[in-house]
Amino acid sequence: MKKKITKIGVLTSGGDSPGMNAAIRAVVRTGIYHGLEVYGIMRGYTGMVENEIVKLENRSVANIIQRGGTMLKTSRCYEFLTPEGRAKAYENLKKHGIEGLVIIGGDGSFKGAQIFSNEYDIPCVGLPGTIDKDIAGTDFTIGFDTAVNTAVEAIDKIRDTADAHDRLFIVEVMGRDAGYIALHSGISTGAEHILIPEKKTKVADLIASFQEKEKRKKLVNIIVIAEGDDFGGADELAKLLKKEIPQLDLRVCILGHIQRGGAPSCFDRVIASRMGYHAVECLLEERFNVFIGIVNNKICYTPINEAVKKKQRISDEWMKIVKILAT
């Protein structure tokens, strides 16, 4: 009979996202409730390679659910990409007797988990911790709701200034490969244009739109652009528009890393807590090498190897909604 898991590790990897601490707290307290020893691995996969592993108790995760960032820290570990680095990580886990891992992160973190679990006898369960909401198999990721609400609050304030001065503002939000933050924040703030990596924008159409709006004296406009849009971001788009329509009174605002920080929303705290609880249950039930998602408000399990192959796709219906509402 296969030996039951008695010791587990938890780590956060890749970009931080609000709600990671809530997930860590849920993993630790659920594990201890079931009689497991729980270890925190500092700085993601770097901590596995460099043996920065500490035992966690209930009190270790007190008063963190409301904090942004991650108490375990995070980093990108290039040594873990090598067979030698993963071998060191495995030896360090064996020293502590760790038999299973909960990995909170995004697509890159899951790829690392998939490779590691294939090479060694350490089962992994993933939690989608990324503000980009770009992982297939879940309606929401930990941190997305907070990041979008941060962007919405900022864009609402920018619109007040745009209205006072009859200006066009180009607001750049995060989203190197995925446009969900731009899409949701743009729709909820009434942006006239939303530019995302998934949909190519025709320059001629964009310019024609502004020329038409100028004729009917619609001078206040907000463009929300994801950083990974094919224009190359807000600054490049501003240069192009200024060249084609010199009379535009135009300003650029790049929201940057404020979208990652701050206290997580109620929604992010709740889904992180649910996912953390179910991650431990998965390890106990020997449901290995999956990631925990929420679809239609129900917990679902997707094999990690499928999660790293697929991306969330933005449907044409979303873009139709944008076009109709921004008229």
Question: pLDDT tens per residue, the chain (327 residues)?
Answer: 356 899 999 999 989 999 999 999 999 999 999 999 999 999 999 999 999 999 999 999 999 999 999 999 998 888 999 999 999 999 999 999 999 999 999 888 999 999 999 999 899 999 999 999 988 889 999 999 999 999 999 999 999 998 888 888 999 999 988 899 999 999 999 998 899 988 887 778 788 877 776 666 666 689 999 999 888 889 999 998 888 888 888 899 999 999 999 999 999 999 999 999 999 999 999 999 999 999 999 999 999 888 765 666 777 788 788 878 876
Contact 104, 125 (CB under 8 A): no
- Let me know if residue 127 belongs to a domain: yes
Six-digit token pair at 170? 């180009």
From 224, 239, 260, the end of a domain falls on: 260
- Let me know if residue 324 belongs to a domain: no
Domain count, the chain: 2
Six-digit token pair at 48? 């596995």
Three-state DSSP state, 194: strand
Residues annotated catalytic, as ranges? 132
Give pTM, 2 decimals: 0.92
Q: Do 175 and 139 belong to one domain?
A: no
Q: Is the dihedral of CA 85, 91, 95, 97 positive or negative?
A: positive
From 204, 228, 260, the end of a domain falls on: 260
Which among 89, 137, 135, 82 is positioned nearest to 108, based on CA atoms? Answer: 135
> Phi and psi (nearest 5°) for 78?
-75, -25
From 222, 244, 260, the end of a domain falls on: 260
Report d(CA 5, CA 201) in Å as an integer: 51
Instruction: Print the domain residue range for 246.
Output: 145-260
97 alpha carbon, distance to own chain's centre: 31
- Let me know if residue 243 belongs to a domain: yes
- Let me know if residue 70 belongs to a domain: yes
Which among 226, 198, 227, 14 is positioned nearest to 106, based on CA atoms? Answer: 14
Q: Do 12 and 138 belong to one domain?
A: yes
- Let me know if residue 317 belongs to a domain: no
Q: What is the CATH number of the domain that holds 66?
A: 3.40.50.450
Q: Do 126 and 274 belong to one domain?
A: yes
Q: Do 135 and 79 belong to one domain?
A: yes
Report d(CA 281, CA 134) in Å as an integer: 25
Q: Do 201 and 158 belong to one domain?
A: yes
- What pLDDT is stored for residue 206 in this prediction? 80
- What pLDDT is stored for residue 2 in this prediction? 54
